[in-house]
């Protein structure tokens, strides 16, 4: 693009289209590029929505969301309730919220936070899972590269506006409320760890209270299994 126009003129909402307009084919080629951009954005939006519904489906089987999100349509065999809820949610927000708010850097900070957690997890797992089989290793990949990656993510977060950061905190708080109000208490992994701990405690001190608590956990796990089979 800098070979077509000066770089100062590329500071716009559609720099590629502006650069193409400076060529002899700018009239029809810029229209074609704009249509391609619209098609690609639509494809990305649909892909994100479809993947989101499948994430909800997996979270239900982990006990982190209510079973209604895993209801499968008999004909299409897709999570219909999740698709409907996600579609309505996205349609309402895209129709009500301004474009600049939706396209602002809220998604950027979410991605950067995710990358930071991934980098930190690489460092932590090098010490907590030393015996995990690794097919290949990257030079300085156990601490140096993840540290540099985390610092770069933190550096990029400096460009995020206060409004975007505030909205990110609101969404994070909402997710925490959903997790601690439902997911924490119905988590299958938590119930499994708790049952193993109580089981070992019963072996050491088989009191009536511990036995009742273990039976309660087993019934809760059986309930989740039945719910998974039903959905």
**Domain locations in the chain?**
1-96, 101-165
> Does this model's pTM top 0.75?
no
Q: Which 3 state secondary structure label does DSSP give 81? A: helix
Each residue's pLDDT tens digit in the chain (231 positions)? 677 777 777 777 777 777 777 777 777 787 888 888 888 888 888 888 888 899 999 999 888 899 999 889 888 888 889 999 988 988 888 888 877 777 665 677 888 888 999 999 989 988 888 888 878 778 887 889 999 999 999 998 888 888 888 888 888 899 999 999 998 888 887 777 666 655 555 444 455 665 565 566 556 555 454 554 444
HSE-up of 58 (CA within 13 Å, CB side)? 6
Tell me, what's the pLDDT at 202? 47
| Residue 85, C-beta contacts closer than 8 angstroms, at least 6 positions apart | 69
- Joined together, the tokens standing for residue 122 give 């690489």
Using CA atoms, how far apart are residues 7 and 44, in angstroms rounded to an integer? Answer: 28
Q: Work out the number of other CB atoms within 10 angstroms of the CB of residue 65.
A: 21
CA 35 to centroid of chain Cα atoms = 29
Identify the pLDDT of residue 209: 60
């Amino acid at each position: 693009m800098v070979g077509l126009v000066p770089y100062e003129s590329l500071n716009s909402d559609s720099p590629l289209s502006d650069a193409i307009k400076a060529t002899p084919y700018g009239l029809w080629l810029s229209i074609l590029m704009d249509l391609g951009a619209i098609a690609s954005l639509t494809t990305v939006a649909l892909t994100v929505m479809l993947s989101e519904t499948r994430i909800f489906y997996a979270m239900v089987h982990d006990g982190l969301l209510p079973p209604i999100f895993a209801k499968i349509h008999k004909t299409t065999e897709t999570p219909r309730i999740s698709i409907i809820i996600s579609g309505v949610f996205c349609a309402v927000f895209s129709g009500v919220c301004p474009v600049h708010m939706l396209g602002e850097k809220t998604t950027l900070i979410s991605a950067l936070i995710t990358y930071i957690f991934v980098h930190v997890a690489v460092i932590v797992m090098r010490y907590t899972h030393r015996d995990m089989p690794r097919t290949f290793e990257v030079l300085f990949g156990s601490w140096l590269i993840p540290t540099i990656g985390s610092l770069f993510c933190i550096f990029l977060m400096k460009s995020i506006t206060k409004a975007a950061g505030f909205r990110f905190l609101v969404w994070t708080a909402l997710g925490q409320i959903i997790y601690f109000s439902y997911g924490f208490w119905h988590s299958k992994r938590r119930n499994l760890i708790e049952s193993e701990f109580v089981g070992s405690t019963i072996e050491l001190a088989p009191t009536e209270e511990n036995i009742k608590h273990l039976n309660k956990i087993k019934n809760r796990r059986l309930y989740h299994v039945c719910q998974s089979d039903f959905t």
